[in-house]
């Protein structure tokens, strides 16, 4: 498991694709909270940011084969 040290000031922006890609697995799914080590609030912010980035075609919905 890959645990990330939680930073209370961590904020996810949908335009920061490089950071968002760290929390997406090879299949294009958002990593679970047990693997990311984020707080529940940060995990929700991450999910919203990833969904916005997908909607704007900054991130793929599914991984390429």
Q: What is the pLDDT of residues 26-52, one digit of tens each?
A: 999 999 999 999 999 999 999 999 999
What is d(CA 1, CA 27) in angstroms, rounded to the nearest whole number?
17
- Tracing tokens 């075609």 back to the chain, one arrives at 57
Predicted TM-score of the model (pTM): 0.85
- pLDDT category of residue 4 using cuts at 50, 70 and 90: low
Q: 18-25: which pairs have CB atoms within 8 A and are 24 or more residues apart?
A: 20/46, 20/49, 20/50, 20/53, 20/59, 21/59, 23/50, 24/50, 24/59
What is d(CA 6, CA 58) in angstroms, rounded to the nearest whole number?
25
Residues in the chain: 65
Point out which residues pair with 30 in neighbouring strands. 24
């Amino acid at each position: 498991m890959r645990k990330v040290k939680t930073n209370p000031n961590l904020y996810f922006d949908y335009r920061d694709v490089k950071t968002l890609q760290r929390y997406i697995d090879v299949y294009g799914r958002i990593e679970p909270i047990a693997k990311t080590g984020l707080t529940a609030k940060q995990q929700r912010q991450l999910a919203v940011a990833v969904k916005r980035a997908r909607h704007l075609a900054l991130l793929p919905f599914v991984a390429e084969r």
